[in-house]
Structure 1
Amino acid sequence: MGNFGAKNLSTSLFHCTLWKSDTSPACRAVMMGLDAMNVSLTEIDIDMDKAEHRAPDLIAMNPHQTLPILKDGEFILCDSHAINTYIASRYCDCEKLLPTNPAGRAIVDQLLHYNSGILYPHYRSCAYPILYENCRFVMPQQAQEVEHAYRKLETMLKGRSWFSGANMTLGDIAIMATISTLHVLVPVDKDKFPVLLSWMFRMSKEPFYTTGNLKGLNEFTKRIDTGNGFDSKDNKKCPRSSLTRRSTGAKLAET
């Protein structure tokens, strides 16, 4: 799993801690990145429905009151894109996931910026009214804007297997975390966007998709369907390691 040119088959960074919520696509992007790189660190699940992300110790690390949060010694990062590229740059030799040549790295950075600046705001505008404001559907204007983004992604993929070109990169992983979540809210039409849907299918067959994305995506789907908080007993079993999450198929072993 995740053998994308890393120096070691598995790297344990137990001096690093990740605070995250599985329902968040940003957190799942980091989890998929970790699994693609076969990097393990300590993970702590945070229940955002219970406002645990607003605890004083987390606010001290991240005044934005968002997840994920990575702490490596005294160094703290609070953005999923920065976390993935930091882990890849510092602890892995992942030339395919994060090219070291300037042109390849610039393409990945461009995709990460597109995800954070365009796709993720679409996710928030569609999901947050349902999650936090008792809205029961995606507004037509928002759905049209999401489909416009799908159309751009369809064009970006024409003639290539991955958004980055010949190889899948952290840019693909970040976009997949967001698009798989948007797909729950505004389904990707197979007739309008066949190339995008084919890419999503290929991504879904990667082992890191199952271990890093699927569980949280299913929880998010249940939350959208019910409009209520998802009461996960798994939150009571943290902290745990990424290695444990992967070895149990993203399900926690009883402790």
Structure 2
Amino acid sequence: MKLQLEQLQLQRGQRTLCKPFDLSLEDGQCWGILGSNGSGKTTLLHTVAGLHHDYRGRIVLDDTAIEQIPRKQFARQAGLLLQTNEEAFPGTALETVLTGRHPHLKAWQWESEEDLALARETLQQVDLAGFEQRNLLTLSGGERRRLYIATLLAQQPQLYLLDEPANHLDLRHQHQILGLLQQLCTTRNKSVVMVLHDPNLAARYCDHVLLLHEDGNVESGPSEALMTPEKLSVLYGYPILHVASDAQPLFIAG
């Protein structure tokens, strides 16, 4: 699957969030979207997911503009993790994860034993094994976050779009979840695009990054080329220093 953004431009009122830019995303790539608060990261992600229609340019998925793809078919190709979720009718953890299977079911079709097995497997992947009958309202913020990620995993799209997947997660689960998403790219040839606030997480888990500057300029490319203290200092409007490390680049506020 190939995602192409062609001269994409985003506006919010009189402000230009993204000046026209091109981007081509291939199978197996993991992209991080970085930028300061209000730079348009969530708006860009929602636009690619087909939720935000006020843009210029084209968004093409496998040679078809996303507006021309039926929503159920699109949900089998691309899945979105929102920054926050609100449940009007909270159910159990297992019931929640099974909603990820809806794009694959016909009208009035019940989930199969295979769907149930997949739902339980994804709960185990996010360290929620044994939570199947827990009510959603009894879960902590971090547990609920992992539950929604499990729901997205159960959806099994080719393209994963995630808005702050590390939000509410403790240190162990941050790395567990981001490592799991990275493995989707390296072992299953999936594609991942995720909004992140921590440049160190992006440097560790993303092979490509997209930098959204406050003036609307966009930079995109391999992480090694763009994840530098000079570029990050400009991006965040604050001095960023690089600390030498044998394992990975490490960035701290100056």
Query: How does the TM-score come out when normalised to structure 2?
Result: 0.31
Q: In proportion to residue count, which structure has more helix?
A: 1
Query: How does the TM-score come out when normalised to structure 1?
Result: 0.31
Please tell me whether Structure 1 or Structure 2 has the larger radius of gyration of its CA atoms. Answer: 2
